[in-house]
Amino acid sequence: MNLFFDGIAWILDSANQGGPGGWIARLGEQLAYTFGAVAIAAVIAVPLGYLVGHTGRGRDLAVSLSGGFRALPSLGLLILLGLGLGIGFRAPLLTFVILAIPPILAGAYAGFEAIDRKTIDAARALGMTELQIVGRVEVPLGLPLLIGGIRSGVLQVVATATLAAYVSGGALGVFIFEGFSTRNYAEALGASILVTVLALVLEGIFALIQRLVVPRGVVAKEPTEIRTRSSRPVAVAGLPAQEGK
C-alpha cells in the first residue's frame, strides 16, 4: 500500500499540478475530449436514433451496428486514424466520436421503443401530428434511456481518452505512458487514480441526472412488477456498457 501513497503524493506534489504539462491541464484535456466527442456524437446519433425509433425502419441495422462496435478495439482504431491523420488531437477526437455514437444511438432508439405502443396509438387517435407525437410524447418518455446512452458514451470516452497520449494527443494518459517508460510507478499510479476518480465522479453526476429526467408520472407509485415485467425497462440506475475502455 506504500506504493498507493506514492501515487497520492505524486498528485499532491504541486510541481506536478500547474502549468501546461501539469495534471490539472491534462485533466482539462481529458474532459475536453470527453464532452467534445460526446457532443459531436450526440448531434449525429440522436436525430438518427429518433428516426429509427419513431419509424421502426433500419432498426436491425442500428442494433447490429451498435452491437458490432463493441468488439472494435479502440486502441487499434485510434492508432490507425493516428497513422492517417498524424499525431495531435484530431485522431483521438475522431476515434472517441466513433466510440460514442453506438451507445447514444442505442439510447435514442431504445428510449422510443420502450414506450408502450398503446400510448403512441392513443396520442395519434387524439389527433397529434407525427411531429407532436415525437416532441410531446416520445422525446420526454424516451429521455431516461437517452441519458443512459449518453452516460455510457461519456464513461467510455473518459476512460478511452487515456489512450490519446499514445498518438501525442495529451490528456492524463501522458503521465501513465511516461511513468511506464521511465519506470516511475508513482506517476503512472497517480494519473490512474485521477482518471478513476474522474470517471466515478462523472458516473455519479450522470446517475443523478438520469434520476432527475425521468418524467414524474413514470416513477410515480411504480406498481411492483416482480411478476409481469412492464414493457418499459426501469429507466433509472444502470450499468454503463463500455467497450474498448
Angstrom distance (rounded) from CA 222 to CA 225:
8
Centroid of chain to Cα 90: 19
Angstrom distance (rounded) from CA 183 to CA 134:
56
- Among residues 144, 164, 169, 174, the one that binds other proteins under rule CB under 8 A: 144
Q: How many Cα neighbours within 13 Å face the side chain of 239?
A: 2
State which of positions 74-113 bind other proteins (CB under 8 A): 74-77, 79-80, 82-84, 102-103, 106-107, 110, 113
Give the shortest CB-149-to-other proteins separation in angstroms: 5
Instruction: Judge contact between 148 and 108, C-beta under 8 A.
Output: no
State which of positions 24-53 bind other proteins (CB under 8 A): none
Contacts of 53 (CB under 8 A, 6+ apart): 108, 109, 110, 111, 112, 113, 138, 142
Give the shortest CB-70-to-other proteins separation in angstroms: 4
Nearer to other proteins, 14 or 227 (CB): 227
Give the shortest CB-217-to-other proteins separation in angstroms: 3
Q: Which stretch binds other proteins (CB under 8 A): 11-19, 20-28, 40-48, 229-237?
A: 229-237
| By the rule CB under 8 A, 235 interacts with other proteins | yes
State which of positions 179-198 bind other proteins (CB under 8 A): 180, 185, 188-189, 191-193, 195-196
- Among residues 17, 55, 129, 182, the one that binds other proteins under rule CB under 8 A: 129
Nearer to other proteins, 97 or 210 (CB): 210
| By the rule CB under 8 A, 11 interacts with other proteins | no
Residues that contact other proteins, how many (by CB under 8 A): 95
Burial of 177 (0-12, 13-18, 19+ CB in 10 A): middle
| By the rule CB under 8 A, 4 interacts with other proteins | yes
| By the rule CB under 8 A, 238 interacts with other proteins | yes
